[in-house]
Amino acid sequence: MVFHRREHTKTAAVFLIMMSAFLFGMQGESPEDIERRKLVDQQAALSERIASLNHEQEYLLLQKAFYASDSKYLLIDLPSRTGMLKYRNRVLRTFTFTTTAGMHPVPRNTVLKVTAKADGKEQKRVLLFGDTLLIQSKRSSIVSGNEKRAPRILVGSKDFAALYYAVEQGTMLYTGK
Amino acid sequence: MRILKKINTGNRSLCLCASVVISLLLPHSISAKERSSEVPIEDLRAKVAAFEQEAASLEEQNHGLRQMLKEQEDDEVYIVVDTENNRLSLRRGDRVLLTAIVGTGSRQFIEEETGRNWYFESPMGSLSVLGKERNPVWIRPDWSYVEENMPVPAENDPDRIVREVLGKYALILGNGYKIHGTKYTDLLGTHFTHGCVSVGDKDLEVLYKTVKIGTKVYIY
């Protein structure tokens, strides 16, 4: 009986060692798995890089067009809340601004055009970029109608007066990152 | 009884082993199934190679564009006049070297009996300094007489020559427009000129000494 019990224990131990070795081998990744994982990661990183290079190229091409054109244009940098009125490669004016969200936030990496200059008393003046964006003086009264739904960029009254006078229908605006 | 107990204990450990084996094998068999539905590795390699090529090509294009734009940049000073706020700035690249309170065109309209009319607005757009003058002389134009209800003299009449009203210096912009000094310093910061840009003495001196003939002037 004693012999049999020892024999059983030995068999179970051998079985367990073999099984754990087998399972351990099963758990490890094969070289193909490792390569696949690396390729998938690489693909994701490259596609992100391509998207960012495409954005950069878009901006550079736009800058090239602006430098060649005979019109003033506006550049808006949303993270730093600063803007520039430029003509070709020259800065005509820099300004700071605040934003108020409409139904949607100010779109990024987008080219917009001044579609209308709402005239009237100083506080009612607005630069309209379709339904996408409004630029107003900080002292302006709140807009009504469809424009109410668009996000607004609010600039100081002196800056707004200068911008309002400097831009015309068709003036382009580029919102950066 | 003791033997039976031992057999039972052996069975229990065997069952435990089997359940461990099954639970460990189960996820493996699922991941094997998943792998069979994955993209072939050759396709992945090809895709990554294509992406690498696309990124490299974009990088090269962007480098070329950046270079081209950089070549268009210069370190020249330029003048910007904001006619709405009556401010002039002397700039180099993004830097502001000087800000001055100025006077610009009154945006007023006058008409002569004969029908000739004038609108006093500063010239908008991109201009250049065409010349620099010390102790400039003002040659009174016709509108100056019309404005004061005076008879307009002949073109070469010496009465048209007026000294010491334009300050010590003037920068000529063309078509009769200048950046010059003024006697009416109290009016700086307002729209009071007939289109020229009037500047205080100190600022005018800095401008005169800094800019060259050909310096760009942007009036908006």
Return the pLDDT at A46: 97
Average pLDDT over residues B34-63: 90
The four Cα atoms A3, A6, A8, A10 give a dihedral, to 10 degrees, of: -130
Return the pLDDT at B79: 98
Return the pLDDT at A121: 75
Could you give the C-alpha distances from A128 to A167, A176, B51, B207, in angstroms and in order?
A: 11, 18, 40, 37
Question: Hey, which residues does A99 pair with through a beta bridge?
Answer: A153
Query: What is d(CA B136, CA A98) in angstroms, rounded to the nearest whole number?
Result: 46
Return the pLDDT at B32: 52
Q: Environment class of residue A129 by beta-carbon count within 10 Å: exposed (0-12), middle (13-18) or buried (19+)?
A: buried
Domain check: are A58 and A75 in the same one?
A: no
Chain A residue numbers with beta carbons less than 8 Å from the beta carbon of B44 are: 36, 39-40, 43
Domain check: are A42 and A107 in the same one?
A: no
Q: Pick from B28, B51, B104 the residue to mutate for testing the A interface (most A CBs within 10 Å).
A: B51
Query: What is d(CA B143, CA B195) in angstroms, rounded to the nearest whole number?
Result: 12
Q: What single string gives the DSSP state of each residue in A63-117?
A: HHHHHHSSSEEEEEETTTTEEEEEETTEEEEEEEEEEE--SSPPPSSEEEE--EE
Return the pLDDT at B68: 95
Average pLDDT over residues B29-45: 70
Written as six digits, the tokens of B58 are 């974009």
Domain final position from A50, A65, A80: A65
> Residue A78, by phi and psi: left (phi above 0), alpha (psi -120 to 50) or beta?
alpha
- E strand or H helix that includes residue B96: strand B95-105
Domain check: are A25 and A110 in the same one?
A: no
Single-letter code of the amino acid located at A68: A
Q: Environment class of residue B47 by beta-carbon count within 10 Å: exposed (0-12), middle (13-18) or buried (19+)?
A: middle
Among the residues of A69-174, which ranges form H helices? 157-166
Domain check: are A84 and A61 in the same one?
A: no
Query: What's the mean per-residue pLDDT of chain B?
Result: 89
Return the pLDDT at A13: 64
Sign of the C-alpha dihedral, residues B164, B178, B181, B186?
positive
**Domain carrying residue A121:** 71-175
Contacts with B, A 129-168, CB within 8 Å: 158, 161-162, 164-166
Res. B157: pLDDT tops 70: yes
**Alpha-carbon gap: A109 to the closest alpha carbon of chain B (Å):** 17
**Alpha-carbon gap: B132 to the closest alpha carbon of chain A (Å):** 23
Written as six digits, the tokens of A70 are 């005979």
Single-letter code of the amino acid located at B21: V
Chain A residue numbers with beta carbons less than 8 Å from the beta carbon of B51 are: 42-43, 46-47, 50
Res. B9: pLDDT tops 70: no
Closest to B197 (Cα-Cα) out of B146, B127, B148: B127
Domain check: are A111 and A125 in the same one?
A: yes
Single-letter code of the amino acid located at B56: A
Domain check: are A51 and A92 in the same one?
A: no
Locate tokens 């005239």: which residue? A119
Letter string b/e over residues A88-123, b meaning 16 or more CB atoms within 10 A of that residue's CB? bebbbbebebeeeebeeebeeeeebebeebeeeeee
Could you give the C-alpha distances from A145 to A117, A149, A151, A153, B201, in angstroms and in order?
A: 16, 8, 13, 17, 50
Domain check: are A94 and A109 in the same one?
A: yes
Return the pLDDT at B17: 53
Chain A residue numbers with beta carbons less than 8 Å from the beta carbon of B3 are: 1
Number of domains in chain A: 2
Return the pLDDT at B14: 56
Return the pLDDT at B21: 54
Domain final position from A32, A65, A98: A65
CB distance B174 to B130 below 8 Å: yes
- What's the CATH number where A88 sits? 2.40.440.10
Domain final position from A12, A35, A65: A65
Among A93-107, B17-31, B153-167, which stretch is predicted with the lowest mean pLDDT? B17-31
Res. B33: pLDDT tops 60: no
Domain check: are A90 and A47 in the same one?
A: no
Domain check: are A115 and A155 in the same one?
A: yes
Among the residues of B37-189, which ranges form H helices? 41-72, 142-147
pLDDT digits (tens, 9 = 90+) for B122-133: 999 999 999 999
Q: Where are the domains of chain B?
A: 1-38, 39-73, 77-219
pLDDT digits (tens, 9 = 90+) for A13-41: 666 666 665 555 556 678 888 999 999 99
Return the pLDDT at A79: 93
Domain check: are A136 and A81 in the same one?
A: yes
Q: Which of A23, A87, A162 sits opposite B126 (nearest CB)?
A: A87
Half-sphere exposure of residue A115, counting CA atoms within 13 Å on the CB side? 10
- The segments of chain A whose pLDDT lies below 70 read 1-10, 12-28, 142-147
Res. B25: pLDDT tops 90: no
Query: What is d(CA A102, CA A13) in angstroms, rounded to the nearest whole number?
Result: 71
Query: What is d(CA B12, CA B10) in angstroms, rounded to the nearest whole number?
Result: 5
Domain check: are A61 and A125 in the same one?
A: no
**Alpha-carbon gap: A104 to the closest alpha carbon of chain B (Å):** 31
Task: Give CATH superfamily name and number for B77-219.
Answer: L,D-transpeptidase catalytic domain-like (2.40.440.10)
Domain check: are A161 and A108 in the same one?
A: yes
Angle ∠(A128,A134,A139) on CA atoms, nearest 5: 115
Q: What are phi and psi of A80, to 5 degrees?
A: -95, -5
